């Protein structure tokens, strides 16, 4: 972490799953616990957040006031009311407004800026980030898009923040590409969890104990993931390396293909991307 980041006050508005994953990663990477404040209405989540040693409050304005970076970590459906509240009550200084970093799926930069406009007509610089829950272990993948009024220093701060929790950090130059990021890596962990759930169920049907099947399938997912990231071979070559001619893997892959595996995955990823776009347009009209 840079010395500059150590002096920044960072507020999270919403202390749920994704905020918890990011905060856990930040604390593990040496961010000062006292530089982070989480505003969260639900006591159960406040207790979880306070276990990280960070400041916790129920008051969004208290968390946001004096912070140079405000991370909007509420559900998309709540983003408008929170932004309105920040614009009207937290962004009162005539000085430069803090950086608003939204992780909400689909919610567009123009909605975020419009909703958080102050009474004097100013809106904060906004960065949209699409992280994922492996941030919890410092193994996240994040996509980022910055508005044109975000300074170079602010981009560097966002990079430092996200690099602490993400192995892969991709800046995109068109906002709509964040819907693709959401569909591939934001929602992506759930696809692998679902695949492992099915593999465990199949292993149990074939006679393994649940514990054995869980350990074998989970470690296989981890091992394959590490090979994808660390080996120089492409995913396709790695698949070929496992697939002996007329062997067991070929039998399994042919079964996948008989159900049009590529089309199943393509439709699912497109559905996630479409839903992100739809959330942005539906909620943007409110
Ligand atoms: N989960 C994931 O894998 C990912 C999520 N995201 C995005 O992150 C955002 C948060 O998702 P996630 O963490 O899963 O959701 P959660 O519901 O777990 O967290 C949101 C938290 O915000 C709280 N909240 C509700 N209203 C307010 C308010 N007015 N002020 C402050 N806090 C409030 C909620 O409290 P309560 O429960 O009491 O309503 C809840 O604890 C979403 O916009 C999502 O699109 C992005 C990438 C991945
Ligand atoms: O399911 C969702 O809408 C959020 C965004 C990406 C992952 N979870």
Query: φ, ψ for residue 106 (rounded to 5)?
Result: 85, -30
pLDDT at site 94: 67
By alpha-carbon position, which residue is closest to atom 7 of ligand 2? 187
Q: Is 56 annotated as a binding residue?
A: no
Q: Which residues pair with 101 in a beta bridge?
A: 71, 127
List the one residue out of 65, 66, 83 whose CA is nearest residue 14: 83
Q: Would the annotation count 134 as a binding residue?
A: no
Q: Whose CA is nearest to atom 16 of ligand 1?
A: 16
As annotated, the residues of the chain forming the CATH 1.10.3730.10 domain(s) are 188-278
Give 189 Cα–ligand 1 centroid separation in angstroms.
Answer: 17
Q: What CA–CA distance (Å, rounded) separates 233 from 239? A: 10
Give the closest residue to 229 by CA, choosing from 160, 115, 165, 139: 139
Give pLDDT tens digits along the chain (286 positions).
666 777 789 999 999 999 999 999 999 988 999 999 999 999 999 999 999 999 999 999 999 999 999 999 999 999 999 999 999 999 987 678 999 999 999 999 999 999 999 999 999 999 999 999 999 999 999 999 999 999 999 999 999 999 999 999 999 999 999 999 999 999 999 999 999 999 999 999 999 999 999 999 999 999 999 999 999 999 999 999 999 999 999 999 999 999 999 999 999 999 999 999 999 999 998 7
Binding site annotation covers 251? no
Ligand having the closest approach to the CA of 86: 1
List, in order, residues 6 or more apart from 66 with CB less than 8 Å away: 9
Fold topology of 188-278: ProC C-terminal domain-like fold (1.10.3730)
| Cα of 204 from ligand 1 centre, angstroms | 35
The whole-number pLDDT of residue 3 equals: 61
Q: 87: CA distance to ligand 2 center in Å?
A: 25
> 13: annotated binding-site residue?
yes
Strand ranges across the sheet with 99-102: 55-57, 36-39, 10-13, 69-72, 99-102, 126-130, 140-146, 166-171
Ligand nearest, relative to CA of residue 74? 1
Ranges of CATH 3.40.50.720 domains, the chain? 3-178
CA of 82 to the centre of ligand 2 (A): 19
Q: Enter the tokens of residue 2.
A: 């840079």
Q: Is the CB of 187 under 6 A from ligand 2?
A: yes
Cα 244 to ligand 1 centre (Å):
45
Q: 3-178, which class in CATH? A: alpha beta
Q: How many CB atoms lie within 10 A of CB 184?
A: 18
Residue owning tokens 């950090």 = 169
User: Is residue 73 a known part of a binding site?
Assistant: yes
The answer, yes or no, to whether ipTM is higher than 0.90 is yes
Nearest CA to 145 among 85, 95, 186? 186
Ligand 1 contacts (CB < 6 A) are 13-19, 39-42, 45, 60, 73-76, 78, 82, 103-105, 130-133, 186
HEC string of the chain equals CCHHHHCCCEEEECCCHHHHHHHHHHHHCCCCHHHEEEECCCHHHHHHHHCCCCEEECCHHHHHCCCCEEEECCCHHHHHHHHHHHHHHHCCCCCCCCEEEECCCCCCHHHHHHHCCCCCCCCCCEEEEECCHHHHHCCEEEEEEECCCCCHHHHHHHHHHHHCCEEEEEECCCCCHHHHHHHHHHCHHHHHHHHHHHHHHHHHHCCCCHHHHHHHHHHHHHHHHHHHHHCCCCHHHHHHHHCCCCCHHHHHHHHHHHCCHHHHHHHHHHHHHHHHHHHHHHHHCC
């Amino acid at each position: 972490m840079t010395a500059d980041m150590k002096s920044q006050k960072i507020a999270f508005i919403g202390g749920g799953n994704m905020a918890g994953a990011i905060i856990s990663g930040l604390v593990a990477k040496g961010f000062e616990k006292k530089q982070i404040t989480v505003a969260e209405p639900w006591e159960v989540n406040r207790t979880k957040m306070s276990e990280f040693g960070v400041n916790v409050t129920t008051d969004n304005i208290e968390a946001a006031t004096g912070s140079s970076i405000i991370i909007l970590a509420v559900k998309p459906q709540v983003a408008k009311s929170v932004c309105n509240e920040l614009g009207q009550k937290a962004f009162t200084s005539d000085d430069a407004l803090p950086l608003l970093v939204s992780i909400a799926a689909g919610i567009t930069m123009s909605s975020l800026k419009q909703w958080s406009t102050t009474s004097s007509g100013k809106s904060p610089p906004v960065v949209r980030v699409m992280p994922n829950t492996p941030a919890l272990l410092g193994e996240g993948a994040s996509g980022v898009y910055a508005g044109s009024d975000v300074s170079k220093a602010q981009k560097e701060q966002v990079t430092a923040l996200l690099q602490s929790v993400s192995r892969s950090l991709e800046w995109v130059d068109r906002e709509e590409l964040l819907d693709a990021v959401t569909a591939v890596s934001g929602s992506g962990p759930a696809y692998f969890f679902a695949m492992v759930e099915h593999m465990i169920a199949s292993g149990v049907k074939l006679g393994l104990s649940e514990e054995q099947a869980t350990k074998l399938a989970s470690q296989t997912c981890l091992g394959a993931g590490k090979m994808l990231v660390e080996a120089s071979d492409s995913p396709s070559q790695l698949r070929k390396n496992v697939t002996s001619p007329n062997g067991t893997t070929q039998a399994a892959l042919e079964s996948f293909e008989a159900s049009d595996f590529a089309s199943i995955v393509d439709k699912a990823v497109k559905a996630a991307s479409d839903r992100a776009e739809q959330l942005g347009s539906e909620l943007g009209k409110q």
